Amino acid sequence: MEQTATKVSVTELEDFCHAALRKCGVEEAGARLSANVLVTTDAFGVFTHGTKLLRGYVRRLQAGGIRADAVPRVEREGPAWAILDGQSGLGMVTSVLAMNKAIEKAKTAGVGYAGARNSCHFGAAGYYALMAARADMIGLAMANDYPSMAVLGARKAVLGTNPFAYAVPAGREPPIFLDIASSTVAGGKVRIAQMHRETVPDTWMVDTNGVPTTNPFLYPHAAFLLPFAGHKGYGLAMMIEHLAGILTGTGAMYDLVNWVDHDPSLATHHGGAFLAFNVAAITSLDAFKDRVDQLIRDIHETPKADGVDRLYVPGEMEWDRHRRAVAQGIDLPEDVVASLRELAELLDIAAPWLGKG
């Protein structure tokens, strides 16, 4: 099914998200930065993890599962690490605080790890990794989630589609970055197939018999995503379960609550892990950046197969979209528009670009 697009500027969209969060009682700074996380993700073209998620966050904010008045706090810390308790506030607020803490630790110790417990779903992991890159550090960001991913042979989900992201600062080029789910695809892609009433490839999910299925409507109650590359995606998700879930004390697997489908008055207990490597502490920052730029050029100049115009480094497609979004506005797909329109009505927010004055 063809998607019709609605055009909106980055500023208008951020103001809209900010207004929605403020109407739910979120304080000014938290509303502003959460809006920035979601809109930046849309600007990268990752519409499954951008402003479309706001409707679900608002549902939990209104029911109390996400606490609008939460003040995340550093629970304990050491020379190169900290554990933060998100106090069941917005995942974006807790995660930005945690990555800033990892960066702060890396400034003095060279490397910093910040774990977040009692967080919530944090949008797209890549945003937090890029915070480190903006501080001239290599950044890693990951989170666990309620189980929706099986392994081959299982009739039930065992782990979340735990996301993993990293970013590397370059010199003349924008940061290299990658943001991936541990599953073949993110759950949001199955929800899009539901919306379009399309089947999905049989490598995406298994049903409750542990058998591959192409029916998107079985998800998430009676079908479970599969990890990418079999044991590799499963293994990555398992690592994240430990760094983001068990090490932070938030828990793992079914200790969490499903932020989309479960009672919105319940705290979700997501965990996050954030790492920063302070390049300048470890080596010459200029030499590092020059070498990263050179690597990017080497990839670009690699001989290409017939019909291939360009070889991309990780994140480059997203930066291309981001530049267009900032210059020309974001073309929001219809499912995102529908979700935002629902919010505009619910919270009575003026948004001319949604046809609501």
The DSSP-derived string for 198-209 is ----TTSEEETT
Other CB atoms within 10 Å distance of the CB of residue 158? 18
> 26 vs 273, which CB is nearer to a copy of itself?
273
> 16 vs 277, which CB is nearer to a copy of itself?
277
User: Cis link prior to 175 (omega < 30° from 0)?
Assistant: no
Q: Least distance (Å) from a copy of itself to the CB of residue 304?
A: 6
Q: Least distance (Å) from a copy of itself to the CB of residue 150?
A: 8
Query: Could you tell me whether strands 137-143 and 164-168 are parallel, antiparallel, or unpaired per DSSP bridges?
Result: antiparallel
Q: Least distance (Å) from a copy of itself to the CB of residue 53?
A: 22
Q: Least distance (Å) from a copy of itself to the CB of residue 336?
A: 23
Q: Least distance (Å) from a copy of itself to the CB of residue 227?
A: 9
> 7 vs 156, which CB is nearer to a copy of itself?
156
Q: Least distance (Å) from a copy of itself to the CB of residue 120?
A: 21
239 in helix, strand or coil?
helix
> 307 vs 352, which CB is nearer to a copy of itself?
307
Which structure tokens are listed for 134?
Answer: 């903006």
139 with 131: CB under 8 angstroms? yes
> What single DSSP character describes residue 130?
H
> 265 vs 294, which CB is nearer to a copy of itself?
294
Q: Least distance (Å) from a copy of itself to the CB of residue 153?
A: 4
> 65 vs 187, which CB is nearer to a copy of itself?
187
User: Alpha-carbon distance 109 to 189, whole Å?
Assistant: 40
> 78 vs 355, which CB is nearer to a copy of itself?
78
User: Alpha-carbon distance 247 to 222, whole Å?
Assistant: 30
User: Alpha-carbon distance 230 to 116, whole Å?
Assistant: 28
199 with 213: CB under 8 angstroms? no
206 with 156: CB under 8 angstroms? no
In single-letter form, the type of residue at position 296 comes to I
124 with 48: CB under 8 angstroms? no
Q: Least distance (Å) from a copy of itself to the CB of residue 145?
A: 15
> 97 vs 279, which CB is nearer to a copy of itself?
279
User: Alpha-carbon distance 241 to 250, whole Å?
Assistant: 10
186 contact partners, CB below 8 Å, separation of at least 6: 48, 49, 161
**First vs last Cα of the chain: how many Å apart?**
29
